[in-house]
Amino acid sequence: MKLWHRRPIVHAVTDARPSLTQDIGRREKRYLIQMAIRTICLVLAVVLDTPWPIRALFIAGAIFLPYVAVIGANERGKGDTPEPDDAGPNQNEIPRHRREIGS
């Protein structure tokens, strides 16, 4: 009697990652929204006559949002699909770093 047996990993269609075109479009949209927020922060920091804490918040947004936006725009497919728990060395699929080929 076998107490433990290894079950094969079954991939469903819903596990598929979005296509490269969809992923790039999503990242571009997020980047443009973040850069628009940055531009608004910069304009508000210069134009509005507000107390220093609020102006410092606008300036911080104008300085740090580009860094956050670029990091977000450069991460390809993070968090789209969970990694298999026990992917064996003989799996018959395209490696993760080469998945954009053919999509």
pLDDT value at position 98?
A: 56
What is the distance between the alpha carbons of residues 28 and 76, in angstroms, rounded to a whole number? 12
Predicted confidence at residue 8, as pLDDT, reads 75
- Residue 77: what residue type? G
How many domains, in total, are found in the chain? 1
pLDDT category of residue 69 using cuts at 50, 70 and 90: very high
CB 38 within 8 A of CB 61: yes
- Domain assignment present for residue 91? The answer is no
Tell me what the pLDDT averaged over the chain comes to. 78
28 assigned to some structural domain: no
- pLDDT tens digits along 16-58: 778 888 888 999 999 999 999 999 999 999 999 999 999 999 9
For 55, the domain range is 50-76
Domain assignment present for residue 58? The answer is yes
Tell me if residue 74 falls in helix, strand or coil: helix
CA distance 61 to 41: 6
Q: CB atoms < 10 A from the CB of 69, how many? A: 19
